[in-house]
Amino acid sequence: DMSGGTDIARRAIHVCAACHGEGGRSASAAYPSLAGQPAQYTARQLKDFRAQQRAEADNKAYMWGVSALLDDDTIQALAEYYAVQAPAPGRARGPDRLLKEGRRLFEDGVPGSGIRACAGCHGERAEGAAGFPRLAGQHADYLERQLKGFSTRLRPHGVLMRAETAGMTAQQMRAVAAYLQSL
Ligand code: HEM
Ligand code: HEM
């Protein structure tokens, strides 16, 4: 249902689909999937783009222009639309060994290292909730890019993740991203 901001949102969805795919299930790791993402998280990101506060190069190039045209009602309607779309299915990525390493990191963190269990915030199955994004089925390359990017401080709401990723190695990022894509 798309009451409020309806007409604009209904038309905007076709624009979004050009990159993010039908129903927000994207085919390319250049574009994150949006399907099944909690509405609160999606709305927050769109407002961060619109305020020119989420500021990685790709965000400037692609999302600043699109989001500038959206009012709050349209953002809410878009976020609610994507929240109820069937999520992208998991796609295996890499050898079992890598997936197991990623799973352990996701479920347990690294005790004593300051890396907490990702599941504690993102959910047992990485389904996300409220302001915590769904990670299950997301493109591994996109996830890895975000994990590497939090240290640059170009995401205004990335404070928790900056602390989380500070102690992570590139190998750990690769493993957890591969595991998450497979869910
Ligand atoms: C990122 C929504 C249109 C390209 C995002 C994110 C959201 C979003 C919520 C952040 C996802 C996350 O944090 O997990 C939308 C909506 C659109 C739209 C609602 C339509 C109104 C487009 C279009 C393009 C595009 C038309 C391509 C021309 C991208 C790229 C990223 C992105 C490249 C980020 C990639 C990165 O950070 O690596 N979009 N988008 N989007 N979107 Fe869109
Ligand atoms: C965002 C991964 C632990 C809170 C993200 C994103 C990734 C990620 C890839 C970006 C998603 C996207 O752009 O769509 C992980 C991994 C973790 C972990 C692999 C474990 C090593 C945590 C923990 C918390 C947390 C423990 C809470 C204390 C958040 C929040 C965001 C986020 C609030 C959204 C940031 C924003 O709005 O810009 N996480 N996460 N994460 N994570 Fe985590």
In DSSP notation, 41-76 reads HHHHHHHHHHTT-S--HHIIIIIIHHHHT--HHHHH
Q: Are residues 100 and 169 in the same domain?
A: yes
Is 65 contained in some domain?
A: yes
Domain-embedded: residue 170: yes
Decide if 70 contacts 46 (C-beta within 8 A).
Answer: yes
Domain final residue pick, 33, 54, 83: 83
How many independent structural domains does the chain possess? 2
- Confidence check: pLDDT of 106 > 80: yes
Does the pLDDT value for residue 3 go beyond 60? no
In order of 84, 135, 147, 161, 166, the CA distances from 158 in angstroms are 25, 15, 10, 5, 12
Q: Which atom of ligand 2 is nearest to the CA of 37?
A: 14
26-35, 41-50, 148-157: least confidently modelled range: 148-157
CATH number of the domain where residue 178 is located: 1.10.760.10
| Domain that includes residue 38, residue range | 6-83
Beta strands in 60-168 (DSSP E): none
CA distances from residue 13 to 33, 53, 67, 173, 183 in whole angstroms, order as listed: 13, 23, 12, 32, 26
Residues 100 and 67 in one domain: no
Residue 1 belongs to some domain of the structure? no
Q: Which of 83, 109, 139 is the last residue of a domain?
A: 83
Let me know whether 46 and 71 are in one domain: yes
- Please give the average per-residue pLDDT across 148-156, as a whole number: 91
Same domain as 138, residue 170: yes
> What pLDDT, on a 0 to 100 scale, did the predictor assign at position 150?
93
Residue 119, pLDDT above cutoff 90: yes
Residue 114 forms part of a structural domain: yes
Nearest-CA residue for ligand 1 atom 11 is 32
Residue at 172 is within a domain: yes
Tell me which H or E stretch contains 145.
helix 140-149
Say which residue the tokens 């349209």 belong to: 74
85-102 average pLDDT score: 96
Specify if 147 maps to a domain: yes
Ligand 2 pocket list (CB less than 6 A): 32, 44, 105, 115-116, 118, 120-122, 131-133, 135, 143, 146-147, 155, 157-158, 160-161, 164, 176
Is residue 91 one of the residues assigned to a domain? no
ipTM over 0.95: yes
Residue 89 lies inside a defined structural domain of this protein: no
78 shares its domain with 100 = no
Task: Give the number of whichever ligand sits closest to the CA of residue 69.
Answer: 1
- Give residue 147's pLDDT band: very low, low, confident or very high (50, 70, 90): very high
How many angstroms separate the CA atoms of 167 and 151, rounded? Answer: 11
Q: Are residue 175 and residue 147 in the same domain, yes or no?
A: yes
Boundary of a domain, candidates 36, 62, 83: 83
Q: Is the same domain home to 79 and 100?
A: no
Placement of tokens 């953002």 in the chain: 75
- Tokens representing 155 are 């995401």
Per-residue pLDDT at 2? 53
